[in-house]
Amino acid sequence: MSSDVLIDCYGKSFVDEIRVSHQGRDYCFIFSPEKKAGKQFSLAMYLDNAALGKGVARYPKHRRICVMLESPISMVFEHAEQLRPLFRKTYTLRKTLIETGEPYGLLYYGTSWLEGAWEGQRFDKTSLVSFLGSIDHNAAHGYSLRMDVARMCIGLSHVDCYGKGINPIDSKLDGLGKYAFSIAMENVREDFYFSEKLIDCLLTDTVPIYWGCPAITELFDERGMILFESLDELADILRGLSMERYREMLPYVRKNRDIAIQNDWHTLKGIYARLTDALVKDIPLNDLAPVKPRGHVQASIRRLLSMN
For 229-255, how does the pLDDT look when each residue is reduced to its tens digit (9 = 90+)? Answer: 999 999 999 999 999 999 999 999 999
**Residue 190 DSSP one-character state:** -
Confidence of residue 141 (pLDDT cuts 50, 70, 90): low
Least confident of 52-66, 93-107, 132-146, 151-165: 132-146
Q: Is residue 15 part of a domain?
A: yes
257 with 165, same domain: the answer is yes
Return the pLDDT at 134: 75
29 with 63, same domain: the answer is yes
Return the pLDDT at 1: 41
299 or 116, greater pLDDT: 116
Q: Is the pTM of this model over 0.85?
A: yes
157 with 210, same domain: the answer is yes
90 with 173, same domain: the answer is no
131 with 250, same domain: the answer is yes
Q: Is residue 122 part of a domain?
A: no
Confidence of residue 142 (pLDDT cuts 50, 70, 90): low
83 with 186, same domain: the answer is no
Question: Which residue type sits at 45?
Answer: M
Report whether 11 contacts 47 (CB < 8 A). Answer: yes
Q: Is residue 94 part of a domain?
A: yes
Return the pLDDT at 123: 94
Average pLDDT, integer, range 161-183: 92
Q: Is residue 295 part of a domain?
A: no
298 or 225, greater pLDDT: 225
Q: Is residue 302 part of a domain?
A: no
Confidence of residue 67 (pLDDT cuts 50, 70, 90): very high
271 with 244, same domain: the answer is no
Q: Which residues of 194-210 are buried (b: 16+ CB within 10 A; e: fewer)?
A: bbbbbbbbbbbbbbbbb
227 with 191, same domain: the answer is yes
Q: Is residue 152 part of a domain?
A: yes
Least confident of 84-98, 124-138, 144-158: 124-138
230 with 153, same domain: the answer is yes
Average pLDDT, integer, range 2-18: 92
Question: Percent of the chain, pLDDT > 90?
Answer: 79
Return the pLDDT at 306: 56
User: Domain with 199 in it: what CATH number?
Assistant: 3.40.50.11660
Query: How many separate domains does the chain show?
Result: 2
Question: Percent of the chain, pLDDT > 70?
Answer: 93
What's the pLDDT tens digit per position in 257-276?
999 999 999 999 999 999 99
**How far apart are the C-alpha atoms of 142 and 147, rounded to whole Å?**
9
250 with 220, same domain: the answer is yes
DSSP-assigned beta bridge partners for residue 269 = none
Whether the predicted pLDDT of 165 surpasses 90: no
Whether the predicted pLDDT of 132 surpasses 60: yes
Return the pLDDT at 2: 53
- Domain enclosing residue 96, as ranges: 5-111+267-287
**How far apart are the C-alpha atoms of 308 and 302, rounded to whole Å?**
7
Beta strands 207-211 and 5-10: pairing type?
Answer: unpaired
Average pLDDT, integer, range 187-214: 96
Average pLDDT, integer, range 99-122: 89
Q: Which residues of 143-174 are buried (b: 16+ CB within 10 A; e: fewer)?
A: bebbbebbebbeeeeebbbbbeebeeeeebbe
Q: Is residue 303 part of a domain?
A: no
171 with 83, same domain: the answer is no
Distance of CA 182 to the CA centre of its chain: 19
Output the average pLDDT for the chain: 91
Q: Is residue 197 part of a domain?
A: yes
Whether the predicted pLDDT of 301 surpasses 60: no
**How far apart are the C-alpha atoms of 171 and 187, rounded to whole Å?**
20
42 with 9, same domain: the answer is yes
Beta strands 17-22 and 25-30: pairing type?
Answer: antiparallel
